[in-house]
Each structure stands twice: as C-alpha cells, then as structure tokens.
Chains A and B, each alone.
Chain A
Amino acid sequence: MKKALLVLLVSLFIISSFAATTIKVLVWDDALTRAVQSKLKDFEKETGIKVIMELVPSGSVLQKIAVGVSSKNTQYDIVAVDEPYVPSLGDLLEPYDKWSNGNMYKKPDLNVIMKQVFDAAVWKDAIVGLPINGNIYVWMTRRDIIENKEYQKEFKEMYGYDLTVPQTFEQLLDIAKFLKKKGIYGFAPFTKTSEGATCEAMLFFSAYGTIPINLVNGKYVVSLDKERAIEAINMYKKLLEYAPVGANNYGHSERIAAFNQGKVFSMFQWPAIVPDHEDPNKSIVAGKIIYSAPPAGKYQRAAVRGAWVLGIPKASKNKEAAAEFAYWWSSYEAGKELVKVGMTPARVDLLKDSEFQSTHPWFEGIFDSMKYATSRPRIENYAEVSNVIKTNWIAAVTGTMSPEMAVNKMIEELLNVVK
C-alpha cells in the first residue's frame, strides 16, 4: 500500500512539474510526422505537457527555423532538422549530452538507435540532437516481374545469368533493356529541380567512388573526380533511356504514380513514401515489392541518407519538457504504436521487431541500405552546394550539357562556394 502511494505521489509530482508546460514543435509534414501527431494525446495525458505541433512542407522547415530560432530567442522548443542542414544550425542547438535524463521517458541509449543514423546528428564532434527516423534510400524491385517464370527463362537465355534483384547498375541496365520489349520501364529517375536530384547525383557519384566535397584538416576541399563523375552520369543517362516518357522532369508525384500503376520495374524511394506503394487502394503493385540496398556502381553500393534530427534550440525555455517529448517519440513503447500509424523508426529493435517484419517489409531494406549510407556534403552553406550539384547534374543527365562540361562546371562552381 505504502509503495503504491509512493508511486502515485512520484507520478503526480512528475506530472505536476510539467503542468501548464506547453512546448512548440516544428516538424516536416509527411506520413511519419502525421503519425506522431495522431498520438500526441497519449503523450499529453501521460506527462501533462501540452504539445503544439506545427507541420510544414519539408522544404519550408529550414526557412521557419532560420527566422524563428536565434541564439537568444526561439519560437520553438523542438525543431526537426534535415541532416544536410545540421552544419548550418548546429551552433544554435543544445548538445545532446546536455539534455536532461528524462522523467517518464528515459534518454535513449545510443546503442538502440542505428549508428549510421546517429552520424547524421554529429557536428563538430558533438551530437546536436536526437535522430528520429531511419531515413535512407531503399531500393524497390518488382517481385512479380523477377518471379515470372517466362521472363526468368528468356532473360537467362539472353544474358546468361538469373533475373533477380539487380546487384549492380550494369545488371539493372540489362534488365531494363529486356523489360523494354515487355512494355515495362526499367527505372524511374528523380530529375525535377529539387533536392531529390541532388540525392540521385550523390548516390551515383558515391557508387562510382567519388564525392563532391570533402573536409580535410578542417577545410572544405572540392574532391569530385572528373572521370568517375562522368562515368556515373553516363550510367544514369543510359538508365534514363529506359525510364517513362517525361522522365527528364520526374519528381516524387510522377515516380510514385508510375510505380503504383505497374509501369516501372525498380527505383529508389524514401521509407516514409513506401506505405503509399503498399496501399492496395493506391497501388496495383502493393505486396509485390522487394526492398533491398541499392545496386552497386562500378566501385561500391551507396544509399543516400536523409535522417531528420530533433534539436532543442539553446534559447528554449522548456528544454526539459522538450527532451521528454523527444524521448517519448523515440521510445520503444510509443514507437510500437507510432509505427502502426505510419512512423519509420530509427531504433534497431523496432526495425527488427518480428511484429513488423511482415507488415513493414521495407524495414529490412532500410537496415540493408544503412550499411551503405552516404551523406550529402556536410557544409554550412549546403543549399548553395546542393544547387550547384543538382543544376549541373540535371543538365548533364537530360542532355542539355555534355557530362564533361557539366562536371567541369560543377567543380568550378563548387570551388566558388567553398572558397
């Protein structure tokens, strides 16, 4: 009886310590954050902390942070930061080791979160926030096509090896050529002038063994290898020949539509968008997709990571409550519920959870891809770097500029940005 009373008192104390605490949270808007928003009441009931969650398109999050957070003032107690922008905002965020220990939800043990995801939150040798999603390009392959007996036989006769999930881009090219005769597009690119194009460029450059910018002895160095970059572009151009009509201007909506209509054999996707492909009401290929790590380029496999990090601005007056919210979001208990409504976790135990293995087959793909995680350049003026990469990449792959010229221009413009 005494024990129960003590527990009750402690619980009441914890709740009362947060009573009337309201935190304002700025996050991007997609299936993942909408899942979290749908379960906010649970958190508020348990902790007494009221949460005002602002969901804005991912491209606008940075603008909101830039005008709403400074070293002295902040409109938000927690902000979600896309990993390429961690360098620009890192100095405004409270280092993770200074976060409180948590009351109802404990500070997560770093080992429960995938190590590669934590890398996204590191800036100047410190962790500046809590990574919240295992966001990485997963490779989607149509199971119904590679398991088609007739196709298997025909393909083996033509190419001398089995029709399977492509292990290299060369194999993907073979399959794409083969499927063209069947009226199926081999590949859906991302060529719209947006961040997706930078991600495609980064993936191919990495797979062909080069990266645009490197940090050497604390200084940014343009490190793009011309020959390898041209090889990467040429491979992408070849694949584009087997992409749907209008592929030179393909973004999320076009890719999703083409894949869901069964017109495309394989492509990359971000995990938060995968539930759309697996929804039978939206997709005729639901249940027919294999998720894996991307095929390898000439030198290696690479998968672009895009983890979001929950950061607490140094100027926040509600740091403790903010940390409590982040711990709830990343806890195993809440995670079990949040995954059911659309969250992609960063925790190993949730990604490997037996309950989700069948319902969320892409979790295994995330795990696979994470082994080959590659990050976009980590630099304070990332937006300018990204713009240079995507502008020249698109010009090269769509044929408005020769690959040689585009790579030279990319290097020249990157040198201007880093100088």
Chain B
Amino acid sequence: MLLSSKNKKKRGNFPLFFLAPALISVTAVLVFPIAYALGLSFFEWNLMNEANRVFIFFKNYVSVFNDPQFWKSFLLQIGFIFIAIPIELIIGFFVSILMNRKFKGAGVLRSLLLLPVFILPVLSGLTWSFMLQPEYGTINYILSLLGFKQIAWLAYPGTAYTAVILQDIWRMWPFMFIILYAGISGMPKEFEEAATIDGAGFWQRVFYIIIPYLKPTIITAILLRTIDALRIFSEVYVMTGGGPGNSTLLLSLYINKQAFEYFNIGYASAMSIILIVVTLILTIILVRGNIEIDGDKA
C-alpha cells in the first residue's frame, strides 16, 4: 500500500533509526576492513619498518600480476574448487536422494552424516595428517591390509594436493547434502510418481525431474561452497603448511605468507582485494544464473 505524503512525514526518520544498528555493524565488520585493506593495498609497507610506509598507487597490483607464485597459487585454488566441489556435489546429491526415502533410523543417520561439517577445520586438518601418517596412519594401514605399499601422502606434491582435496571432500560433502536434501524434500511427490507411472527409470527421473527442479538449490549450494573454498586456509595450513615445496600453497596461504611471514602488508592487501573481486565476480555470475532460472520458473 502506498503511503500518503502526510504519513511519510509522520514516519520521519524512524526506519533509519531501526536500521542504524545493522548499518553500523555491517560497516564495522565488513565495509571498514575491506576499505582499509583497499587503502593499504596502495602502499608499500613492511610491518617491521612501520616508518617507511610509501604510497605507490597501483604498483602492488602490477607486482601481483607479475608474480609467478601468485598465478601458481591462484591455479591451485581454482583446481581445488573445480575438483572438490563437483565431487562434493555429486556425493551430496545422491545421498540426498537416498535419504529422501522413508526408512527406520533415517533421522539418526541424517544427523550422523552431518557430523564432519561441524568439525573445526583445524581439527579436521590435524586428524587427516595423523590418518595420512605413513607408518602409523589408519589410511596406510587399510592400504597395507589390501596389499598396497605405504604412501607418504604429504611428502610429494601430487599426493599432498590430493590429500588436501580428499580432506575437504570428506568434511564438506554433507554441507552439499543438507542443502540439496532440503530442496529435494520440498519437491512434490507427484512429480516423481507421475514420471514413474510414465515408465521413467531412475536416471531419467534424476536428469529430467530432480535436477531441473533442484537447479536453483544446486546453484546456491555451489555458490556458497565456492565462496567458502576461496578462503580455505586452516585445514591446509595444518596439513601441509603449503608444502611440500609450494605445491599446496593455495592463494589464502600465500596471502598469509606475504602478510605474516614476510610482513609485506601492502602486497598481501592487494592480493586480498583481488581475491575479493574474484569472489564477487563468481557470486554475481552464479546469482544471475539463479535469478534467470527463477525467472524461467515464474
């Protein structure tokens, strides 16, 4: 209902008053840090030498784009996202279909499946590094029972990168599951029933009924996981520290190295801003996709 100008006047600045706490907190925890980092990214500033803070405008950004390690770390991060998230999505999707059926103990099982998500990333990283320990680790023990040789998982670039991805898949597939499960359980039963009566098999129902119905949910899940994966840090840090060599030095770890090992605060800020921009672009693409799908549905 439209307000008359008299009512508008009467209402005065009341909405602003109620919005103020939210605006202040968003500014304090979101806008200010990002703006501050943006400001820092235009300076050459080594934390050990606080007196020598020099304004260098875009030089840090130019250096970042010319830094081979930045690109390596960026590619490692992208590779991580492109490998881990689809696998998590596939596992989460099929488990959500499975759990959508009624059976005894389904509620308990659902809760148990969610457990890994609640484990702290650091703890998960530590647990995995113990499990992957070549001599005493459970994974090598299981492999040896199956007749395989012991593998020093975290000692070689390829296996260390694989281990980091495996850890993430283990911890985060239930996140995909819970989102998709919420979506799938809201799907009218008639859709599947009608398809079954028409003679559709399992895969036909998956491809022509469930996936199209879940598309917005899937995109939301991918979006949330992608944002999360772009800032992955602690679990990789405790598992490999970015090594061996720099083989698991994902972008967030490289930013940390520049900021808190080399104390190049300006340079690290520039990389953080780039990471924020990349996240923002991905978010816009995915959200737009989602809106279009919603639009189609409407």
Residues on A close to B: CB < 8 A?
A: 63, 66-67, 70-71, 88-89, 92, 191-194, 244-249, 254, 380-381, 383-384, 387, 391-392, 394-395, 398, 400
Nearest A residue (CB) for B265: A66
Q: List 7 A-B contacts (CB under 8 A).
A: A192-B241, A193-B241, A245-B150, A247-B155, A383-B263, A387-B257, A394-B244
Contact A193 B47 (CB under 8 A): no
Question: In whole angstroms, what is the CA distance A400 to B244 when docked?
Answer: 10
Closest to A249 in B: B155
Q: Determine the distance from Cα of A395 to Cα of B156 in the docked complex, in whole angstroms.
A: 9
- Selected contact of B156 from candidates A92, A381, A398, CB within 8 Å: A398
Tell me which residues across on chain A come within 8 A of B118, comparing CB atoms: none
Do residues B245 and A400 form an inter-chain contact, with CB atoms below 8 A?
yes
* Interface bits B34-53 vs A (CB < 8 Å: 1, else 0): 00000000000001101100
The reply on B183 being an interface residue by CB < 8 A is: no
Q: Which residues of B are at the interface with A, using a C-beta cutoff of 8 A? A: 47-48, 50-51, 133-135, 150, 152, 154-157, 240-246, 257, 260-263
Q: Could you tell me the distance in whole angstroms from the C-beta of B60 to the nearest C-beta in chain A?
A: 16
Tell me the bound Cα distance from A246 to B156 in angstroms: 10
A-B pair number, CB within 8 angstroms:
70
The list of the 4 closest CB pairs from A to B, nearest first, reads A193-B243, A246-B134, A248-B155, A249-B155
**A57 → chain B, closest Cβ, in Å?**
12
For A249, the chain B residues whose CB sits under 8 A away are 134, 152, 154-155, 244
The answer to whether B262 touches A67, judged by C-beta atoms less than 8 angstroms apart, is no
Residues of B within 8 A of A383 (CB): 261-263
Q: Check A193 against B157 for contact (C-beta < 8 Å).
A: no
Contact partners of A245 in chain B: CB under 8 A: 134-135, 150, 152
Given A244-B135, A387-B257: A193 touches B242 (CB 8 Å cut-off): yes
The answer to whether B244 touches A193, judged by C-beta atoms less than 8 angstroms apart, is yes
CB-CB < 8 A to B246: which residues of A?
Answer: 391
- CB-CB under 8 A from A381, the residues of chain B are 262
Q: State A63–B241 Cα separation when bound (angstroms).
A: 16
Do residues A71 and B51 form an inter-chain contact, with CB atoms below 8 A? yes
CB distance from B161 to the nearest CB of A (A): 12
Given A70-B50, A193-B241; A398-B262 close (CB under 8 Å): no
Query: What is the CA–CA distance of A82 and B245 in the complex, to the nearest angstrom?
Result: 23
Q: Which A residue sits closest to B260, measured CB to CB?
A: A63
CA distance A254 to B47 in the complex (A): 34
Contact B244 A66 (CB under 8 A): no
Query: How many angstroms from the CA of A380 to the CA of B52 in the assembled complex?
Result: 14
Contact in complex: B156, A66 (CB < 8 Å): no
Q: Whole-angstrom distance between the alpha carbons of A400 and B159 in the complex? A: 12
Report whether B155 and A246 are in contact in the complex, using a CB–CB cutoff of 8 Å. yes
> Can you name the residue of chain A whose Cβ is closest to the Cβ of B51?
A71
A193 to B243, CA, bound (A): 6
Considering the complex, give the chain A residue whose CB is closest to the CB of B150. A245
User: Which chain B residue shows the least CB distance to A70?
Assistant: B50
Chain A residues lying within 8 Å of B50, measured Cβ to Cβ, are 70-71
Residues in A neighbouring B243, C-beta threshold 8 A: 192-193, 391, 394
Q: Which of B134, B150, B156, B244 has the most CB of A within 10 A?
A: B244
**Known A191-B155, A398-B155; contact A246-B135, beta-carbon cutoff 8 A:** yes
> CA separation between A67 and B242, bound complex, in Å?
23
Complex CA gap A384/B246 in Å reads: 13
List chain A residues, Cβ under 8 A from B262: 381, 383-384
- Distance of A246 Cα from B242 Cα, bound (Å): 18
Whether A395 and B51, one on each chain, are in contact in the complex, defined by CB atoms closer than 8 angstroms, is: no
A99–B257 CA distance with the chains assembled, in angstroms? 34
Q: Which residue of B lies closest to A71 (CB)?
A: B51
Tell me the complex Cα distance, A146–B263, Å: 47
Contact flag A398-B244 (CB < 8 Å), given A245-B152, A248-B152, A249-B155: yes
Question: Which A residues touch B134, using CB under 8 A?
Answer: 245-246, 249
B133 in complex: contacting residue of A246, A394, A400, CB < 8 Å = A246
A337 to B244, CA, bound (A): 42
Give the complex CA separation of A71 and B261 in angstroms: 20
CB distance from B155 to the nearest CB of A (A): 3
The residue from A67, A71, A244, A394 contacting B245, defined by CB atoms under 8 A apart = A394
Given contacts A66-B47, A249-B244, 18 further A-B contacts (CB under 8 A): A63-B260, A70-B50, A88-B48, A89-B48, A92-B48, A191-B155, A193-B241, A245-B152, A246-B133, A246-B152, A248-B155, A248-B156, A383-B261, A384-B262, A387-B261, A391-B246, A394-B244, A398-B244
> What is the CB-to-nearest-CB distance from A85 to chain B, in angstroms, rounded to a whole number?
9
Query: Are A391 and B245 in touch, CB under 8 angstroms?
Result: yes
Contacts of A246 in B (CB 8 A): 133-135, 150, 152, 155
Q: Name B261's closest neighbour in chain A (CB-CB).
A: A383
The CA-CA distance from A363 to B130 in the complex, in Å, is 33
Question: How far is the CB of B130 from the nearest CB of chain A, in Å?
Answer: 10
Complex Cα distance, B133 from A379, in Å, reads 36
Task: Kindly list chain A residues whose C-beta atoms are within 8 Å of the C-beta of B240.
Answer: 193
Report the minimal beta-carbon distance from A185 to chain B, rounded to whole angstroms: 11
